[in-house]
């Protein structure tokens, strides 16, 4: 199940409303009205303009780095000459900043990236950081995920990534949504966006473990067959172990844990303490506060230390 189309990098996750093209017909909505909510940069350009091609990457990069404080709207003056004509734009590239429905500042030419960043910093100086809003949105995503609505959660996480492509909570959350719906390849692609230095983050590690367990579950066989094997021979620890992995993949956490605990109780040394180690993996994937983790950890302690 594909719940959100995922690109190959942060740029692919930029939403259409953060950086977009506009027309003569949509200019008022895209620029004038939108600038009453937050600053909007209008970039006047043309396909034949070499300096425009130099400026665009720096401009888009700086807008993404602003993490939602400013939006970028681009207008092709060849296709839509009326607006730039009315504004007296005589050479391109030309970037005009709109604030509260009015032109506030601007620059012309393919200026260096540092100058673009400084321009945006000056424009947004004193603006509240969107981090508080992002935290609230992430809470909404977590609530949706807890309610079993992975599709809604995924769309919310993607929205956060559209303004902060390196947000670890959102990356972990989106990958978790993919794992929950069986879209393992997309989960791998999402985790690949995490910087190497952040791979040990607890949330990222937990999702990586979830993904590893889900991939392992694909090779252990159908639950019904494994249940028959265990019923026929309760001492078939491998079958019981595989059953636990399959049950976990199906969301039956308590049952999965019970089977591993049964192995630990019967034969702690089986497969080099493999049942206990797998249970610890489950705990990491489920989270320390999950009911199944809390209950199973207590039961494991009883077995180990009683």
- pLDDT at residue 4, as a whole number: 45
- pLDDT at residue 37, as a whole number: 84
Q: Is 177 a catalytic residue?
A: no
Q: Of 19, 49, 165, 249, which residue is the catalytic one?
A: 49
Ranges in the chain, pLDDT < 50: 1-16
pLDDT in tens, 79-104: 999 999 999 998 999 999 999 999 99
pLDDT in tens, 152-166: 999 999 888 877 788
For the entire predicted model, the pTM comes to 0.60
Q: Of 4, 52, 134, 160, which residue is the catalytic one?
A: 52
SS3 for the chain is CCCCCCCCCHHHHCCCCCEEECCCCCHHHHHHHHHHCCCEEEEEECCCCHHHHHHHHHHHHHHHHCCCCCEEEEEECCCCCHHHHHCCCCCCCEEEEEECCEEEEEEECCCCHHHHHHHHHHHCCCCCCCHHHHHHHHHHHHHHHHCCCHHHHHHHHHHHHHHCCCCHHHHHHHHHHHHHCCCHHHHHHHHCCCCHHHCCCHHHHHHHHHHHHHHHHCCCCCHHHHHHHHHHCCCCHHHHHHHHHHHHHCCCHHHHHHHHHHHHHHCCCCCCCHHHHHHHHHHHHHCCCCHHHHHHHHHHHHHHHC
- pLDDT at residue 217, as a whole number: 95
């Amino acid at each position: 199940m594909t719940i959100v189309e995922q690109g190959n990098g942060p740029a692919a996750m930029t939403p259409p409303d953060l950086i977009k093209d506009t027309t003569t017909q949509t200019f008022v909505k895209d620029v004038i009205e939108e600038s009453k909510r937050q600053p909007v940069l209008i970039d006047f350009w043309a396909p034949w303009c070499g300096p425009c091609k130099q400026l665009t990457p720096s401009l888009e990069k700086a807008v993404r780095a602003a993490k939602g404080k400013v939006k970028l709207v681009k207008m092709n003056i060849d296709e839509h000459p009326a607006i730039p004509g009315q504004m007296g734009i005589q050479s391109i590239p030309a970037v005009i900043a709109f604030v509260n429905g009015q032109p506030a500042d601007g620059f012309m030419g393919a200026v260096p990236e540092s100058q673009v960043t400084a321009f945006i910093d000056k424009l947004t100086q004193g603006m509240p950081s969107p981090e508080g809003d992002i935290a609230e949105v992430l809470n909404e995503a977590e609530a949706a995920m807890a309610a079993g609505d992975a599709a809604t959660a995924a769309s919310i996480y993607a929205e956060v990534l559209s303004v902060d492509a390196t947000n670890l909570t959102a990356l972990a959350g989106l990958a978790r949504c993919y794992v929950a719906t069986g879209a393992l390849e997309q989960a791998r692609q999402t985790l690949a966006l995490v910087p190497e230095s952040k791979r040990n983050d607890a949330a990222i590690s937990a999702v990586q473990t979830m993904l590893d367990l889900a991939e392992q579950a694909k090779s252990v066989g159908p639950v019904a067959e494994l249940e028959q094997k265990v019923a026929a021979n309760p001492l078939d620890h491998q079958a019981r172990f595989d059953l636990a992995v399959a049950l976990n993949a199906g969301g039956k956490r308590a049952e999965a844990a019970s089977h591993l605990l049964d192995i630990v109780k019967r034969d702690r040394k089986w497969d080099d303490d493999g049942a206990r180690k797998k249970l610890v993996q489950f705990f990491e994937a489920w989270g320390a506060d999950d009911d199944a983790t809390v209950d199973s950890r207590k039961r494991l302690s009883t077995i180990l230390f009683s």
